[in-house]
Amino acid sequence: MTLTGKARVAGIIGWPVTHSLSPVLHGHWLKEYGIDGAMVPLAARQEDFAAVIDGVRRAGFVGVNVTVPHKEAAFALAHRLDDAARSAGAANLLIFHDDGTIEGRNTDSIGLAESLRENIGALDGKTVVLLGAGGAARGAIFALDSLGADTIRIVNRSPDRARDLATSLAKDVKKAKLVALDNWASAAEGAALIANTTSAGMSGQGPLNLDLSVIAAGSTVLDIVYSPLETKLLKDAAARGLQTIDGLGMLMHQAAPSFEAFFGVRPQVTPALRAALEKVLRERQ
């Protein structure tokens, strides 16, 4: 079936995807700007990703946002890529062009950088611990680098994957260093920011259990997970008096360029948008 009419339809693809706020977020902007369009959730297992993308492209979708675990697969599928996606080796936005080609972009680094600027400002000369080594971690490294972080310590459950990430980025981001999870206390020493880019703590996933007693007072803990809004990691950090940043800011800011690509208007991230998303999250609990 091919879509007809003036409405522009985009999708959000992931596994799972029921947690995604993208349909609500884009729906808020569509209503605010009076645009005839929709954002459709698309649940796809890893082995079905390429087939689902081909199906929705043929059906007339203008593009899709991509969430875990498909960002690296989206990168591989794209015919052309922007610099951010090429550098990160991952894409969270696929745009379908009329000539049949697929353009891949990465807006994760933009979203994270803007969220951090709003909450703590620049990271000039500071040490950051990055938890994770997947597609989100790659985008995060460039965001942290753009904010002036002096050292980025990559910590991941799989040392080999973390090593591959650090090696692949060595030419562009020399400040990224690999630290084993077994040396958590050493990794956290002197860090101004701890940033979780894994899916641990997400609804339906196990929590991320870390010893936060080794984190210095005055440090900040960020979790890119937004469902639930307050993960166990953030609860534990707040209980210790540490500043926390949830994943909602990153979500809203990374979605703005996607909305512009899909619907032709660059939207504003506002307190009203955040309130609307928080309301939905509360209702889902």
Per-residue H/E/C for the chain: CCCCCCCEEEEEEECCCCCCCHHHHHHHHHHHCCCCEEEEEEECCHHHHHHHHHHHHHHCCCEEEECCCCHHHHHHHCCEECHHHHHHCCCCEEEECCCCCEEEECCHHHHHHHHHHHHCCCCCCCEEEEECCCHHHHHHHHHHHHCCCCEEEEECCCHHHHHHHHHHHCCCCCCEEECCHHHHHHHHCCCCEEEECCCCCCCCCCCCCCCHHHCCCCCEEEECCCCCCCCHHHHHHHHCCCEEECCHHHHHHHHHHHHHHHHCCCCCCCHHHHHHHHHHHHHHC
Q: In what order do the strands lie in the sheet with 220-223?
A: 176-178, 151-155, 127-131, 193-196, 220-223, 243-245
From the list 6, 31, 71, 175, the catalytic residue is 71
Active site residue 71: yes
Distance CA 128, CA 270 (A): 28
Indicate which residues carry an active-site annotation. 71
